[in-house]
Structure 1
Amino acid sequence: MAVTSHPELGRAIRHLRDPESLQVGPKRLIDYPRAGRRGIRRWIPSWKLALGASALGFAGIVMGLMVAYAKTPIPTANSNVKDQKTVVYWASDNGKTRGTQELGRFGDVDRRIVTGKAIPQVVKDAVVAAEDRSFYTNKSGISPTGILRAAWTNARGGSLQGGSTITQQYVKNYFLESDRTMSRKAKEFFISVKVAREASKDEIMENYLNTIYWGRNTYGIEAAARAYFGRSAKDLTPSQAAFLAGIINGPELSDPHDGDDERERAEIRWNYVLDGMEKMGTLAPEDRPAKFPKVIKQRPGNSLSGQTGYLMRMVEKELLARGYSPEEIKTGGLKVYTTFDKKLVQAGVEAVKTFLPDPPDRVQVAMASIDVETGAVKAIYGGHDYIKRSRNAATEDTAMAGSTFKPFCLVAALDNGISLKSRFSGASPLYLPKSDYPKPVRNFGNHPYGFLDLPAATANSVNTVYMQLNREVGPKKTREAAVKAGIPSDTSGFNDGLGNVLGSADVRPIDMASAYATFAGQGVRREHYIIEVVDTPDKKNSYVHGRSTDDAKEKQAFERDVMADTVYAMQQVVTRGSGGYARSLGRPVAGKTGTSQESQSAWFVGFTPQVSTAVAMYRLGKNDKGQDVLPPMGPYRTITGSSYPVRIWTEYMQKAVEGMPIEQFPEPAWVGVPQNPMPTLTTTQQTPTTTLPTWTLTPTGRPTETGRPTWPTQTTAEPTTTTTERTPDPTQTTTTRRGGGGGD
């Protein structure tokens, strides 16, 4: 019998060969290290073990992915994903409340959200051909091959790759931050799968096209279409759509106007997209564009230079006053339709340049123009350049009103039964009781007049007559009339002193234009405004002027007959007074010149029945504090309202009333009772020798006028009739600044 045939002996022999073979006990679940193997073979797993371990590992991965998928919700959209710049528009030129020409924007993001219906199919097809040709057939929302390719590149130390489908790009832009980490890519993976299951392809495509970056600081297809082609996305041609789709993966490297390399890359991508559209069947070969589209040059940023900054700042302040938050203004995508007429704003700029192309240092010009019928602000000249000086001369600066305040006294007088036919002494100087006014009152140039009725006194801006009239009426009523017309009650220098009639108040040009618009509107007070409509993206917080309870309603501030007489007297300023230059407008004009004491400011505020405009000049003090005397300019030794202001006003108004019908002011009603007080007040030692003036009276002893300049751009000849503009006596003693106006 063989030795090995005996069981015990066989075990003993095997023990000698492999001691572990004699181990007793329960059978191992996992035979590893492998029993019955020696050396390295003991550590090589069996195929059964390898297969089982692989299956177990795969099951673990699947379970892990399932848990991660279940625990990864679709987050809310990024807070800035729908940020849109607020766009401000010029007024419509066809009478509508919504203009179409862009004035400027607030905010840093150029994005305009559009609905899927506003995106043509050719754009969607081009984007699919460029970015993800399996978009409509891929149900998972991810690309395994793309992910593997990206993982391989990343593993080799390359830059973090996307491997992204359109769905993944949408998820990244819409829901996630832009950090380039593996954890963010993992979230992108799970969210993309969920989005692909829960959202429609149309919804994904619409949101994708509204959020991706397209270069030129634009986000979304609508902003991109306007930036590269100057048109809306709905109007894009197949060639233009292919261009925009082609540059998605590198817009900053594909702008044709940045260089030859960029143009070449853009053309290569353009052809790639068109090839893809043909292969996909979304573009017939015969419809394939033959020429690369013409891309417009990038427009400069929305500069605030010139007048733009002044207008935009006005809009911003008004929006804040209307309750819109700074965040809404910057990122809310508001559409703000203003009253500003682009042509008239430019007309104001040109008018100033015509007469003051290079004003002396610190000399400011301001203009405000208002539609009489509505109160809409049509034009503003806030200064030479917002970039150089951001303070708005027309709405933030003030200047002494001078004689432009006299019409408020006239209104108060008429309203209290004093007729235009009332006569007062025009002697100069005039001494009033010191309890009323402690200093002598002088006319401009200290020129004396005889007895004048109120139209003549208005035409000649006679200080002494208006001081007597103000004393008769009561300065408080003069101030109240100014407030009723539109001058804010908190205006600096506004008081009930007798000298208020000479314009001691520091007023804003826009308030003067608004107050005189009340006169032009036959006593109807309309608050001036600059915003017609504000549209919000959801239309829920929109604003329309006149519909808000916060909007001031128009009201009859003065009787029509009182206004008819007031306007009649103010017409005399133009027909035979210091505002004679405005006659070249060729239609009825009423207004008032004004010059403050020591010529620290000069005004002309005038109106037709349709438009009221104020022009002011003044000189800032050093360091932008206070005001200095206006220096001689051009042919004028002294700057008065009848010099540059009335000329700038007339030049501007030529454009402002262009195409408007010529309307007449109402005939005077001659309200009230004439008053003819005899001169009982102390005057100068010399008794004036002038007699009661007629409508064409020119005061005696009229000083020689300074020469008038030749204005090369003035198309209408200056009236040849003489006016009462004068050069003041160089030796004239002036009072302090609060003494009021200079009488011009």
Structure 2
Amino acid sequence: MPSWKQVLGVFVFCFGSLVAAVGYVYATAIIPTVNPSTQIQSDVFYWADGSQMASAGQVNRQNVGLSQVPLLVQWDFLAAENSTFYTDPGIDPQGIARAVLNMVKGGAVQSGSTITQQFVKNTYLNQSQSISRKLNEIVISVKIGSRMSKQQILQGYLNTCYFGRGASGVEAAAEAYYHVHASQLTVSQGAFLAAAVNEPSVLMNADSDPKAKALAEARWKYVLDRMVTDGKLSPAQRATYRTLPLPKPYVPASRMTGQTGYLVQTAENYVTSHSSITEQDLSHGGYQVYTTFDKKKVTQLAAAVTKTSSAHLDPKHHAADRNVQFGAASVDPATGAVVALYGGPGWDKGHFTDNADASGVPVGSTFKPIDLAAALQDGAVLSPGQGPQPITPASRFNGDDGIEIKDQKGNYVTDSTDPSGLLHQHNDTTHRWGYISLRTAMEQSVNTPYVQLGEDVGYANVENTAINVGLLRSSLQYNTAGFFIGTSTPSAIRMADAYATFAASGTHYDPYSVSKVVSNGETLPGFTKPNPVQALKSSTADTVTNVLQGVIKQGTGTNAQVLGRPAAGKTGTTDNYKSAWFIGYTPQLSTAVVLFKEDPKHPTLQSMTGVGGYTKVFGGVIPTQVWTDYMTAALAGQPTVNFPAAPNLGTGANEYGAPAPSPSTPPTPTATPSPTATTSTPVCHPARRCGPTTQPTPSGGLPGFPGGSPAPTASPTRKHGHK
């Protein structure tokens, strides 16, 4: 038998060797670099009401500062995992001893882990269950505890834990389980999340699985009871929490289906164009983007497009209906907020261009209200050498087809494609209108008066007015007389915003789709709401609105009367029916709808002749139906609001050479000539339900680009107008 001295010597040697070994390991241990996967975050996009719209990224995580987690919720996690967190050295010797003893007995590798150890495992190490990895975790935890504050460690832990439901970190977990931010969690909800960390795959279904609910309730009670033991809740406070706060039903994070992809795309474009945040920054994640999109209105707009498309188009059996596309946008005139858009059938359908936020489709006659606004404000040079004369909706211009156009100097506008060398402006029909008022020309969408009016007002004045009401200079095509009747190609968002200026009596707000961006708990600059600008005199805007009300009452937009409340709007159709628009508004909402045809493989606008079985496709039919269906739903329950009364501007000056009106004939006809009607028989197929269809064929439904030249073939994928 060895003597006690020998035993003591061996013990001292072993203990000294162990201490030396531990010291050596501690001294030589290097804290690894942070695991990159733990830094990956998603960008989260929110609806206007604050609820989550989409999460974009590979990992559903949004890191938050510890200050964004309520103090009692922090203590939920400490009570559940590590009550001595603020006093221990980063490890729990007793827990480690229990884990080692279990391994010696042949049991599974246990954690025995403090929050510091779990943070180290999540952030620096792999997730393997081995003795070597466990020893490494212990050493690094001690080192980390001496280099980082407890607050930093707890923050890192809360941001790296996996909670189930695809949620990494407490912010994503709060949204996944309770549809709130981490800052809005209650102590009771926090206790559930603290319980979920241990068994996320089980407790994630506590709302639907009785076994999971029972387990969650037991663990939840344990956490709250420990809060009392730790002195963080009084017994009286604990007694108020009697019922497990069941999580909301599990809804997987949106994966950019339906309209979501376009909403996110529009918001991202807005973020990068209004701040120093780059596309690369967004790709790294960590941004919380609060949008202006109204979930209900977005759904209603998509439903209106689907309903109209189903009623008119049958691409499976009708070749002309293939590659027909819709785009639409809706803007609040009182703020400029983009509340809804329709960008296409969906990213999941392989359509990645946002038709609501892309320029490239000519707007046709929907540009005429801008001509009229410019004329009302700036007047028109009606005779060479004279100054601008006052213009009103009663001013009369020649509405006949094929007339020659003069510039302000009295010279005829030329056109190299015409045999005569001069521009002969055309309408959609050869109807002889004679000299008609600008009001009538707007209602019946007659081109020739507005081309001559535009020349008399001047390119610069019309261009400035267009920019003042919200159109981008880059989208304006003003090198020919066709500029005045819609060769320009603004986006649907920009056109809805321009008409919103009329709705707001001349007050303009830049369209915006993002109200706030948050990163690392800080609200970033650059996203304040646009300031109002008086773009037009109120008398000008209200007069334009009054004229556009006539378009719906007795003009090309009569189909919009279905809305059943005061509304103003304008139809638009372009050369060879390459696009069809309807843009209309009430005092509360302005909406633009565009229809066009484009093969995604060959991005050039195609004629829509035959689409829906119609020989002529006008903005007053398919786009107007989308508009009325959407606006009816979007405005349901809102009060009927009248537009401000338009001022009496009198008769105004007439085009040079216009005959004086007959004494028996008022300057502005009380009975507007009704549009001619074309009765066409749609091309029917066995799967189609159709028959003879009568649709308005206004004489000016077609802008008739100068000299019959084709409409611009710019693709709507070329530029984004909302920027």
The alignment's C-alpha RMSD in Å is 4.4
Match of 1:26 in 2: none
Matching of residue 338 in structure 1 with residue 291 in structure 2: yes
Matching of residue 171 in structure 1 with residue 120 in structure 2: yes
Q: For residues 73-84 of structure 1, what are the structure 2 equivalents within 5 Å? A: 84=41
Superposed displacement of residue 626, structure 1 = 0.7
Match of 1:162 in 2: 111
Secondary structure in structure 1 of the residue aligned to 2:626? helix
Match of 1:56 in 2: 13
Match of 1:612 in 2: 590
Indicate how the Cα distance of structure 1 residues 327 and 468 shifts in structure 2: closer, same or farther if over 3 A, else same. Answer: closer
Matching of residue 369 in structure 1 with residue 330 in structure 2: yes
Distance 1:137 1:605 in 2: 63
Distance 2:617 2:119 in 1: 65
Percent identity, aligned pairs only, is: 32
Indicate how the Cα distance of structure 1 residues 695 and 177 shifts in structure 2: closer, same or farther if over 3 A, else same. Answer: farther
Match of 1:459 in 2: 443
Distance 1:408 1:510 in 2: 16
State which drifts further: 142-151 or 54-63. Answer: 142-151
1:471 and 1:498 in contact (8 A); partners too: yes
Indicate how the Cα distance of structure 1 residues 724 and 697 shifts in structure 2: closer, same or farther if over 3 A, else same. Answer: farther
Distance 2:18 2:301 in 1: 74
Distance 1:455 1:393 in 2: 31
Distance 1:383 1:545 in 2: 29
1:600 and 1:629 in contact (8 A); partners too: yes
Aligned equivalent of 1:387, options 348, 351, 369: 348
Match of 1:102 in 2: 52
Alignment gaps of 5+ in structure 2:
314-320, 380-388, 406-411, 660-664, 683-694, 714-723
State which drifts further: 637-646 or 138-147. Answer: 138-147
Match of 1:12 in 2: none
Code of the residue aligned with 2:466 in structure 1: it is: A
Distance 1:558 1:273 in 2: 62
Secondary structure in structure 1 of the residue aligned to 2:250? coil
Superposed displacement of residue 401, structure 1 = 1.4
Q: For residues 484-523 of structure 1, what are the structure 2 equivalents within 5 Å? A: 484-491=468-475, 494-523=477-506
Secondary structure in structure 2 of the residue aligned to 1:448? coil
Match of 1:715 in 2: none
Indicate how the Cα distance of structure 1 residues 80 and 469 shifts in structure 2: closer, same or farther if over 3 A, else same. Answer: same
Matching of residue 88 in structure 1 with residue 45 in structure 2: yes
Match of 1:419 in 2: 391
Q: For residues 461-480 of structure 1, what are the structure 2 equivalents within 5 Å? A: 461-480=445-464
Higher relative contact order (CA 8 A, sep 6+): 2
2:174 and 2:180 in contact (8 A); partners too: yes
Indicate how the Cα distance of structure 1 residues 119 and 527 shifts in structure 2: closer, same or farther if over 3 A, else same. Answer: closer
Indicate how the Cα distance of structure 1 residues 77 and 511 shifts in structure 2: closer, same or farther if over 3 A, else same. Answer: same
Indicate how the Cα distance of structure 1 residues 184 and 325 shifts in structure 2: closer, same or farther if over 3 A, else same. Answer: farther
Superposed displacement of residue 643, structure 1 = 0.7
Match of 1:653 in 2: 631
1:454-488 deviation digits (Å, cap 9, x = unpaired): 11111111122223323333445434432333222
Match of 1:3 in 2: none
Secondary structure in structure 2 of the residue aligned to 1:592? strand
1:599-646 deviation digits (Å, cap 9, x = unpaired): 111111122334322111111135151111224455744210111112
Distance 1:484 1:279 in 2: 64
Q: For residues 173-252 of structure 1, what are the structure 2 equivalents within 5 Å? A: 173-174=122-123, 176=125, 178=127, 184-193=133-142, 207-230=156-179, 244-252=193-201
Q: Looking at CA atoms only, which structure, 1 or 2, has the larger radius of gyration?
A: 1
Match of 2:433 in 1: 449
Indicate how the Cα distance of structure 1 residues 636 and 330 shifts in structure 2: closer, same or farther if over 3 A, else same. Answer: same
Distance 2:548 2:528 in 1: 32
State which drifts further: 301-310 or 81-90. Answer: 81-90
1:423 and 1:677 in contact (8 A); partners too: no
Distance 1:739 1:534 in 2: 37
Match of 1:317 in 2: 269
Distance 2:712 2:245 in 1: 69
Superposed displacement of residue 706, structure 1 = 5.9
Distance 1:402 1:224 in 2: 50
Indicate how the Cα distance of structure 1 residues 486 and 218 shifts in structure 2: closer, same or farther if over 3 A, else same. Answer: same
Matching of residue 575 in structure 1 with residue 532 in structure 2: no
Superposed displacement of residue 67, structure 1 = 4.7
Q: For residues 588-627 of structure 1, what are the structure 2 equivalents within 5 Å? A: 588-621=566-599, 623-627=601-605
Q: For residues 63-78 of structure 1, what are the structure 2 equivalents within 5 Å? A: 63-69=20-26
Aligned equivalent of 1:534, options 517, 522, 528: 517
Superposed displacement of residue 121, structure 1 = 4.9
1:665-692 deviation digits (Å, cap 9, x = unpaired): 3423527941243379xxxxxxxxx998
Secondary structure in structure 2 of the residue aligned to 1:506? coil
Distance 2:425 2:256 in 1: 46
2:518 and 2:524 in contact (8 A); partners too: yes
Match of 1:404 in 2: 366
Code of the residue aligned with 2:43 in structure 1: it is: T
Indicate how the Cα distance of structure 1 residues 587 and 276 shifts in structure 2: closer, same or farther if over 3 A, else same. Answer: closer
Distance 1:270 1:127 in 2: 18
Superposed displacement of residue 258, structure 1 = 12
Q: For residues 632-643 of structure 1, what are the structure 2 equivalents within 5 Å? A: 632-634=610-612, 636-643=614-621
1:554-590 deviation digits (Å, cap 9, x = unpaired): 4333334433443333332122210122234344333
Indicate how the Cα distance of structure 1 residues 251 and 496 shifts in structure 2: closer, same or farther if over 3 A, else same. Answer: same
2:470 and 2:508 in contact (8 A); partners too: yes
Secondary structure in structure 1 of the residue aligned to 2:582? strand
State which drifts further: 104-113 or 299-308. Answer: 104-113
Aligned equivalent of 2:672, options 669, 672, 697: 697
TM-score after normalising by structure 1: 0.75
1:401 and 1:595 in contact (8 A); partners too: yes
Distance 2:644 2:228 in 1: 71
Code of the residue aligned with 1:491 in structure 2: it is: S
